[in-house]
Structure 1
């Protein structure tokens, strides 16, 4: 796969209470990814950037919420997130700047 494309697939880690719970329980990490990203691209990007072994990837589309902006009803953007399951013993630590 093209390394330039892999560098653009991952947008940001999704850090929340739910993401922390999933990381502790299932050895998974959640990322916000590009809207046109595929499972093999996400797997390649995580392995390239963080130097960890990826077991599997699940992708979910998150629909944007309807919100009111003043008098006008609007909608937030729809986005995509990826649940990356790591091999046993692997871990990504975002506090220390990534890596193992």
Structure 2
């Protein structure tokens, strides 16, 4: 595991812990609960892929995902997801 992947692993583990704490502290389910549960599922999937050695590969084509996307969003799953993300990035003036 290289240094970048190690950093992402630590980040994902911390994110998982934070989400789990947030869910445990919620007294009732609401719209945010569903978002947190979905994010937790994505984090768990990324952690599983790291453990299996499949992290960083497109789930559709098997291609290696661009490092800049993995660094920004380590739960990204496919090349198709990278195409949609560009719509949300701030563009420099």
After TM superposition, the score normalised by the length of structure 2 is: 0.22
Determine which structure has greater relative contact order: mean sequence separation of CA pairs < 8 Å that are 6+ residues apart, divided by chain length: 1
After TM superposition, the score normalised by the length of structure 1 is: 0.21
More strand by share: 1
More helix by share: 2
